[in-house]
Amino acid sequence: MREGTIAFQGHWPMTETLYHVILNPNSGTARALGVTAATLEELFAAQGLNAIVDDDDHRPLMDRIAEAVSGPAQVLVAAGGDGTITAMAGALLGSDKDLAILPLGTFNAVAKDLHLPLDLAGAVAALATGTVQRIDVAEVNGRVFMQKVVIGLIPGLAAGREHIRGRETLGTKIGFMRYFFRRLARQRRMAVAIEADHGETRIERVQAMAVACNAYDEGLGKFFSRKSLDRGVLTLYVLRHFTARDFVRLVTGMLLGRWRDDEALSMESVRSVTIDAHKELIKVMFDGEVETLETPLHFSIKPKALSVVVPAEAQETAEAA
């Protein structure tokens, strides 16, 4: 198939479920495995599923998504990383269509939280017998996110990490670790005004803050994982200091499943919160991507606003949780 085209040409019977796949061929796993539209066509056909596959990464992503939302497909499939998934989720709010995920990113955090198969063939096969689950999404200044928004030290570290993506030799990794600990040593705390829905405005001096859609769980070996995505709350994490010692202690605590009571960290559940850093623009890590947002940051939760396709056993796990 010629690159930059939509694979499907024709009309599917309206009685059958039609899948519209938005492929990001430059996402981490897609690029590493060489996933193409032809690859996906074969996998969907093998499961007896009707699919339109759009791999035209020369067009703006939001234009491609808008076309899919206005089209005949009942299920829109995000074949990419967490950024592609978040963009499609935002476009689907208020529609009667479902979101499905083929985890082709580097981290695939949302797919892991939904207990989706992480191998491509398994993820496509799971669509054939999948069921629909409604989950929460969150918003900041009107933009949808599915995981967390982080301000302070972490976005700067993430931006440094982006500089070595794709050329991760031993030398670049050592260089990044030096950069990492230099930033920890030099980072100053920032003053922020926090106004939660259940209290008055307070001023905090912090190294970093995160607002998460629902809450991250403790447990042995669990590292930024959520077993429930429909609690209907935001979780505010405040990191008041973050030295090299704090870093080692927190990471160890996460691996051992004992991090919530760490002395450097506080957390609270809210339904809405406003954060003002007393500057017009601020860098944030937005579902894993470093972006610049206008302040103040107004956060809110949208309970069960998104319909996603998950394996039947994943739905049972969510109901049990």
The sign of the torsion formed by the CA atoms of 203, 206, 212, 215 equals: negative
- Angstrom distance (rounded) from CA 189 to CA 193: 13
Intervals of CATH 2.60.200.40 along the chain: 145-302
CATH topology assigned to domain 145-302: Tumour Suppressor Smad4 (2.60.200)
- Angstrom distance (rounded) from CA 187 to CA 180: 11
Using DSSP, state whether 109 is helix, strand or coil. helix
Asked if 100 and 85 count as a contact pair (C-beta separation under 8 A), the reply is: no
Asked if 80 and 24 count as a contact pair (C-beta separation under 8 A), the reply is: yes
pLDDT, greater one: 165 or 70: 70
Over residues 208-267, the pLDDT tens digits come to 899 999 999 887 766 678 989 999 999 999 988 777 787 778 778 877 777 788 888 899
- Backbone phi and psi for residue 266, each to the nearest 5 degrees, phi listed first: -130, 155
CATH topology assigned to domain 18-129: Rossmann fold (3.40.50)
Q: Which whole number is the average pLDDT over 179-190?
A: 68
Asked if 82 and 108 count as a contact pair (C-beta separation under 8 A), the reply is: yes
Intervals of CATH 3.40.50.10330 along the chain: 18-129
How does DSSP classify residue 308?
A: E
Q: Which residues of 104-117 are buried (b: 16+ CB within 10 A; e: fewer)?
A: bbeebbbbebbbbb
Task: Answer whether residue 15 shows pLDDT above 60.
Answer: no
* Beta-carbon contacts of residue 296 (< 8 Å; ≥ 6 apart): 193, 274, 275, 276, 277
Residue 278 has a pLDDT of: 83
Over residues 55-85, the pLDDT tens digits come to 999 999 999 999 999 999 999 999 999 899 9
pLDDT band at 16 (very low <50, low <70, confident <90, very high): confident
Return the half-sphere exposure (C-beta side, CA atoms, 13 A cut-off) of residue 116.
Answer: 31
